[in-house]
Amino acid sequence: MNFRQITAAERTATMFPLQAYAFMPSPWSAEEEEKYRRRMRFYETAVTLVAEEDGQTLAGVAAFRMRQNVRGLVHDMAGVASVSSHPAARRRGLVRELMHRLLRQTRDEGCAVSVLYPFRPSFYARFGFVGIPRHRTAAFAPEGLGHLLRAELPGEVERVPMAEGFDAWDGLQRRLLTERHGFAVFDAVRAAEFRDDRYWVAVARVDGEVVGAVRYRVDRHGGELAAGHLHCTGSLGRALLLQFFARHVDQVSRVVVQISTDEVPELWGTDLTVTAEGRVDFPTRGGPMARVLDMEALAGTPVGPGAITIEIPDDELIGGVWRLESVGGDLTVAKATTPSVTLSVGGFSGLLYGVLDPIEVAARGLGAVPAEAVPALASMFPRAMPYVVADF
């Protein structure tokens, strides 16, 4: 078996048949293959690894170069995607070997964390990944926001095709990356594909500054306005975008928009009938999963007060004994001995990402946490829900 890294140009001949078989209706057409080939210019910076035997590609994995905010510190992130193997070669450990190689390589190239969307979380839990929240959706009739039609808000919303609005939409996401826990963005090469998308973008500005942006489509007169993530810097940006939705009152019967877990849409209006929904199922609508790839890169993370020595057993990348200490609110990380708590990679990642507390880590079987260790871990890594918006 030969394992190697391939270029984006090689993906059409090697990865496409595996991915098309795994993820698309099949058999596929020559046009679909040609469409994939044309998209590969957006994959130039992705790391793609394959397993080959007798000239045939049997399995492949890839990672997009991304950036992610974890508790206020922005890291290089490996966005794992394109994981597939030939049906005849499944259950032979090929993807396991490729995943280990991919995580090691991306860590060596500077990625401190990794995120993916699982077809089945238990498969990736074995590689140290832990679940983080999937976005929610809010669905409502625009008349529920009728009060906003009359509101005088100090700003304006411009509606432009994506090709024109891309820079504002993408630029706002790059700003939110620095401000919002969990937020992740693609590098410029991968992100450029969205410029060609057939979407409208509504851009909210106050004194020329972008404070909100959302992409959307309208399916038909009297139908649905389906929007992506409601990106905003604060309540004024949100109010301007909601006011824009409200102006579609005689045009569509429903607005559906993607929101973070901390949005509370029933508070957007007095008579607003709204369904806020978080839907996770497999294999197509998994919640994202995350893991730490590099402990020392976490130094400087804003954390609560406390100090603790943890052991992470059996992991090539972050295994070992680590002293974690808050010095003036910033995390320091040093190699150590005599741990007071044992955490799996998933258990530690769950604490760092703010999705699990120490009791939940123990209850989920992701670590052995003695009662004395709970207060320090709970204080240093308080709950903080990450908001991952990039789908890949």
Torsion of CA 110, 115, 121, 123, to 10 degrees: -30
Give the nearer residue to ligand COA in terms of CB position, either 381 or 392: 392
Least distance (Å) from ligand COA to the CB of residue 27? 16
Give the nearer residue to ligand COA in terms of CB position, either 94 or 308: 94
Measure the CA–CA gap between 141 and 254, rounded to whole angstroms: 4
Question: Strand pairing of 111-116 and 73-85?
Answer: parallel
Give the nearer residue to ligand COA in terms of CB position, either 265 or 288: 288
Give the nearer residue to ligand COA in terms of CB position, either 244 or 392: 392
Question: Strand pairing of 254-259 and 224-229?
Answer: parallel
Counting other chains too, the contacts that 167-175 makes at CB distance below 8 Å and 24 or more residues apart are: 168/201, 168/203, 168/210, 168/213, 169/201, 169/203, 169/213, 169/215, 169/231, 170/194, 171/210, 172/210, 172/212, 172/213, 172/231, 172/233, 173/213, 173/231, 173/389, 175/210, 175/233
Measure the CA–CA gap between 104 and 391, rounded to whole angstroms: 23
Least distance (Å) from ligand COA to the CB of residue 56? 14
**Exposed/middle/buried for residue 244 (C-beta within 10 Å: 0-12, 13-18, 19+):** buried
Tokens representing residue 347 in the block:
């258990």
Ordered DSSP codes for 192-208? GGGGGS--EEEEEEETT
Least distance (Å) from ligand COA to the CB of residue 82? 8
35: helix, coil or strand?
helix
Give the nearer residue to ligand COA in terms of CB position, either 22 or 162: 22
Least distance (Å) from ligand COA to the CB of residue 32? 17
Phi first, then psi: what are they for 90, rounded to 5°?
-75, 160
Contact 263, 136 (CB under 8 A): yes
Give the nearer residue to ligand COA in terms of CB position, either 91 or 220: 91
Least distance (Å) from ligand COA to the CB of residue 291? 14
Least distance (Å) from ligand COA to the CB of residue 26? 12
Give the nearer residue to ligand COA in terms of CB position, either 171 or 313: 313
Name residues whose C-beta falls within 8 Å of residue 37's C-beta, 6 or more positions apart in sequence: 12, 16
Interaction site with ligand COA (CB under 6 A): 22, 59, 83-85, 90-96, 118-120, 122-123, 283
Give the nearer residue to ligand COA in terms of CB position, either 163 or 282: 282
